[in-house]
Amino acid sequence: MILDKFSVKGKVAIVTGASRGIGKVMSLTLAEGGADVVVAARTLEKLEALSEQIRLLNRNCMVCETDITEANNIEMMVEKTIHKFGKVDILVNNAGMNIRKRAIDLTEPEWDKVLNTNLKSYFFCAQAVAREMAKRNGGKIINIASIRSVIAPPMAPAYTASKGGVSQLTKALAVEWAPYNIRVNAIAPGYTETELTAHFKEKEKDLYEKIRERTALKRWGLPEDFAGTLIYLASDASDYMTGQTLYVDGGYLLT
């Protein structure tokens, strides 16, 4: 049956930036699909609450309170996953941040903070899980890119550079790891209502409405809007797809 190909039952997934927003919904989506999930972020309290939600879905969950901008922490996260579950089938590189500032005013520490979170961590998380996936001849790595992988609105030079890098990194890793049956793809969300973007609706209503009007479907995205794309890329249904960035943006890039 075709729907069986969309199952992730029996698989083990790691989700970074899992404590809120898109990462939280993606963690729950994978659990609903049948996967055991390792949830990683820096906020222990939120991770523990998420873990309880996942266990209510009758799936196993491991909480990993960690800062994945440090390569050593990434290695420990993957080692703990292997120790508990014996394997890792899916990685969702979702951790992200932004500093809204003009390019002329951005400092070196601010640049480094954004790039370390949004790009450097993606590479080293992917590298660490790929070493384990290669041993079992297969796996799925899903990077969270952005529509800013291809457009460049003002006030986010580091974020835009990092997300462009995520899309290109996805291609590079897909080519190099194809012989190991490791598929590497990316989801590029459009403007999405999360805790990180709440300021638009609260303090920049004109800009919020401008974005909504430009979007073909006339609304901002919700974290739940990416669940179907995630399951597709994480499951056997996407086995012949690699190196692609899928733009899930309500049609924002069409106009």
As annotated, the active-site residues are 159
Using alpha carbons, list the distances in angstroms from residue 185 to 33, 193, 198, 199, 238.
Answer: 19, 23, 28, 30, 10
Distance CA 104, CA 106 (A): 6
Strands 61-65, 90-93: pairing is unpaired
Residues with Cβ within 8 Å of 83's Cβ and at least 6 positions away in sequence, in order, are: none
CB 92 within 8 Å of CB 184 = no
CB 221 within 8 Å of CB 193 = yes
Distance CA 120, CA 117 (A): 6
What residue spans of 56-195 are helical by DSSP H?
A: 71-85, 108-115, 121-135, 157-177
Residues with Cβ within 8 Å of 178's Cβ and at least 6 positions away in sequence, in order, are: 242
Residue with tokens 């106009």: 255
CB 164 within 8 Å of CB 149 = yes
Residue with tokens 């601010």: 110
Q: Which residues pair with 90 in a beta bridge?
A: 13, 140
Q: Which two tokens stand for residue 73?
A: 């922490």
